[in-house]
Amino acid sequence: MNRVEKYRRIREMKRRYILAVMLLFFILITGLSAVDSSNNYLMSGKRGIELVKIESQPEYIRVSFMNRNIYINTKYINRDLRKLKKILGIEEE
């Protein structure tokens, strides 16, 4: 096997490995979505995917991932954005 054929084979194998990993992630995400959808329908009667759910409230953002809640307080983020806008001279509307 000469040098050109060797590197061509290496490129083809890399391409196959990348496609195999992409297919793995696609099948994994599809399976998780199907399980989550059927589980939501059985438990609450709602159709849809709620594996990751984001809800916005006036004072916080709730991120729910697999029924574990993470609360992000937006009061401090908004305060810091106002300070940054004031420093940059951007007018608030």
Q: Give the pLDDT confidence score for residue 45 in this predicted structure.
A: 84
pTM for this model (two decimals): 0.59
Beta strands in the chain (DSSP E): 52-56, 60-65, 68-73
pLDDT band at 53 (very low <50, low <70, confident <90, very high): confident
> Could you tell me the residue ranges of all domains in the chain?
1-48, 51-93
The answer to whether residues 49 and 37 touch, using CB atoms and an 8 Å cutoff, is: yes
Q: Give the pLDDT confidence score for residue 92 in this predicted structure.
A: 62
The pair of structure tokens assigned to 92 is 């608030």
Average pLDDT, the chain: 89
pLDDT digits (tens, 9 = 90+) for 18-51: 999 999 999 999 999 999 889 888 888 888 888 8
Query: Maximum CA pair distance of the chain?
Result: 69
